[in-house]
């Protein structure tokens, strides 16, 4: 009898955990595409090739984001891309043209596997990473 109650309790807890996970779904490439359109197109261009309308006026040309995997032996550089987008606290914002997106986003984190390790990642950036990986050439 005790085992039955124990198993029933585990089932109730498991159902609650699954329900919580479905309420707050993980971001995907569609979310990332929306973030990209709102925050990145002006410099990186609609297709991420570094040819946005503001690109010509920048001292440093925006990266062609479709070539990140090609420049990394064919593997999308998740950790490096996330670190650059989030912002490097050592360099600070004055050392780069691209804005840092980390600050206020740190309140809404989701687990993302980065180099085999589940890493707390801002929700918006998790979707953006998924989108960037999907546009690789």
Q: Which domains, ranges and CATH numbers included, belong to the chain?
A: 26-134 (1.10.760)
pLDDT digit string, tens, across residues 79-107: 999 988 887 656 554 456 777 777 778 88
Please say whether the beta carbons of 8 and 105 come within 8 A.
no
Render pLDDT for 25-79 as a digit per residue (tens, 0 to 9).
899 999 999 999 999 999 999 999 999 999 999 988 999 999 999 999 999 999 9
How are beta strands 109-114 and 117-122 bridged, if at all?
A: antiparallel
Task: Quickly state the pLDDT bin for 111 (edges 50, 70, 90).
Answer: very high
Which pLDDT band holds residue 135 (cuts at 50, 70, 90)? very high
């Amino acid at each position: 009898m005790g085992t039955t109650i124990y198993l029933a309790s585990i089932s109730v807890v498991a159902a609650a955990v699954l329900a919580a996970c479905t309420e707050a779904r993980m971001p995907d490439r569609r979310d990332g595409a929306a973030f990209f359109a709102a925050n990145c197109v002006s410099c990186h261009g609609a297709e991420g090739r570094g040819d946005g309308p503001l690109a010509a006026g920048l001292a440093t040309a925006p990266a062609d984001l479709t070539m990140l995997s090609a420049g990394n032996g064919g593997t999308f550089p998740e950790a490096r891309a996330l670190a650059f987008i989030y912002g490097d606290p050592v360099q600070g914002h004055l050392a780069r043209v691209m804005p840092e997106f980390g600050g206020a986003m740190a309140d809404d984190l989701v687990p993302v596997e980065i180099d085999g390790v589940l890493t707390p990642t801002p929700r918006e950036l998790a979707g953006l990473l998924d989108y960037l990986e999907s546009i690789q050439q």
